Every structure is written in structure tokens, then in C-alpha cells.
Amino acid sequence: MKILVGVKRVVDYNVRIQVKADGSGVATDGVKMSMNPFDEIAVEEALRIKEAGKADEVIAVTIGPKVCQEQLRTALAMGADRAIHVETDDDIQPLTGARILKALADKEEPKIVLLGKQAIDDDNNQTAQMLGALSHWPQATFASEVNIEGESAVVTREIDAGLEQLSVDLPAVISVDLRLNEPRYVKLPDIMKAKRKPIETITLGDLNVDAAASVKVLKTSAPAKRQAGIKVESVDELVTVLKEKGLI
């Protein structure tokens, strides 16, 4: 059984985002880039399923310009067996991304596609669900536990009401949430070993995928900021101000 796992290159989690003054986007020149944290969890889960003897091969895939191969190398160093780079300089939105992943799934025939529930740049939270729709596969989003049981999987999902369990037939697409696992640290020998693992580069044309209609970004602006308030010195003072505002 194969697992296909999606990896996206994004501005690192710890970077303080700066909106460009001309409204054309956020500053990315010279900014640290990393694998989307949710995708790291997806890679880790794929590896754990393989290590438990329930999968034979973990294939990492990314979509984007040449530099995205850095993130594929990270996935390979974590333990993925091979990688596919769908190379494009275009802005790939979720629906097109889902079409690409569907084309790859048709070709590779994985039993599970594992994706992060959202990327921390666009925060769309769409690609896994769209892939599920296009493939007519089940989806289990926001997973905090995944148990593979033969030809199906029982997935615990973190939803607003609590923890929901779904049973889905395989093949299925699963999007992962933060508490699913803690990704492993990559050790230096693994980084060296990863350099010898294969990365296949293909294009949208090779996959016969047409870009979907896209949402047009007209401008990017800084959010309205909350003003810092005051420090109160005592609980009495706090109670007084909250009472004055009618809040307690």
C-alpha cells in the first residue's frame, strides 16, 4: 500500500509577517521558508503508518517552483521513500492543487492521501476536501488519530463539538490537525541519505491538468490593530473599570 503525502513550502511559522507598503502581498525576500507545519505532521503520520507495517511506500509531493525541492528533501530526510515535484511558477490555488493531486493519485494509486488541514500562508483549508470531491473518495478532515484497519480507516476528528469518529473506506483523503503526532527531528545522517533519494520532476502538462478558474487577489493590507490598553495595579482597580463598562 502506498501513501501520498502533500508538502507545501511556506513562510516559516516563527516569522513576523510584514505586509508590503504597495499592497501587493507580504514580504518574502530573504524570509525563512519551511515546510507547512501541518504537512510535517502529515509526513510523520505517513511514516508511522509505514513503520507499523501498514504501508509499503511513502511518496512526498509538492507543487511549485524549483526551490520547493528543499521541502521535499526535508520530507525525504524524515523518511519518505521518494518524492514528486510538480514544477510550476504559477500561483496554484486549492482547486488546481486538488486537480494535480487527483492526477497523481490516478497514476500512483495510493490508498491514502495525507495532507495538512491548511497551509499557514493562505489559510484556505480546502485542498483535501476538494481532492475528496474530485476523486469521489471519502474524506476525514482535522484528524487527531488515524487507525488503519484493513480496507478502511477509523479517524478521530477535532471538531467544534468535541472529538468525532468516522469510519472511511480506502482509498481516502485525510487532513491532519496539530495533535495527531509530534514530527521527528531530522538527523544529519538522514539528510545525507536523503540526497540520494529520487525526486521526479513533472509539469501540469505531463499530468494533463488544466488550471481551474481562480480567486483574484486585488490587494493585501495590514489588519486593523488592537491598541494596547492599560495595566491596572490591583484587582480592585480591575473590578472597578469592568463594572464601569457594565461588563461584570
Partner 1 sequence: MSKVLVIAEHDGNQLNGSTARAVACASELGLDAVDVAVLAADGAVVADQAASLTGVSTVVLVQNPANEHAVAALLAPQIEALASDYSHVFAPSTTFGKDLMPRVAAHLGVPQISDIMRVESATVFDRPVYAGNAVVTVEAAEGIVIGTVRTASYAAVGQEGSASIETRELSVELPSHTRYVGLQTSGGSDRPDLQAAAKVVSGGRGVGSEENFSVIYKLADKLGAGVGASRAAVDAGFIPNDHQVGQTGKIIAPELYMAFGISGAIQHLAGIKDAGTIVAVNKDADAPIFEVADYGLVGDLFEVIDELEKAL
Q: Considering beta carbons, is residue 15 or 199 the nearer one to partner 1?
A: 15
C-beta of 35: minimal distance to partner 1 in Å? 16
Q: Considering beta carbons, is residue 189 or 208 the nearer one to partner 1?
A: 208
CA distances from 112 to 5, 7, 56, 160, 182 (A): 8, 15, 12, 25, 20
Q: Considering beta carbons, is residue 48 or 124 the nearer one to partner 1?
A: 124
The three cell numbers of residue 128 are: 483535501
Vertex 216 angle, CA 213 and 218, to 5°: 170
Q: Considering beta carbons, is residue 71 or 127 the nearer one to partner 1?
A: 127
Q: Considering beta carbons, is residue 41 or 59 the nearer one to partner 1?
A: 41
C-beta of 130: minimal distance to partner 1 in Å? 4
CA distances from 206 to 68, 85, 178, 199, 202 (A): 19, 12, 34, 15, 6
C-beta of 165: minimal distance to partner 1 in Å? 4
Pairing of strands 82-87, 152-159: unpaired
Among 71, 140, 129, 65, which Cα is nearest to 101's?
129
Residue 189 is inside which H or E element, if any? helix 188-194
CB 138, CB 132: distance < 8 Å: yes
Tell the burial category of 233 from Cβ atoms under 10 Å away from its Cβ (0-12, 13-18, 19+): exposed
C-beta of 192: minimal distance to partner 1 in Å? 33
CB 172, CB 140: distance < 8 Å: yes
C-beta of 205: minimal distance to partner 1 in Å? 20
Q: Considering beta carbons, is residue 38 or 83 the nearer one to partner 1?
A: 38
Burial 148-164 (b: 16+ CB within 10 A, else e): beeeebebbbbeeeeee
C-beta of 125: minimal distance to partner 1 in Å? 5
Q: Considering beta carbons, is residue 1 or 191 the nearer one to partner 1?
A: 1
C-beta of 175: minimal distance to partner 1 in Å? 9
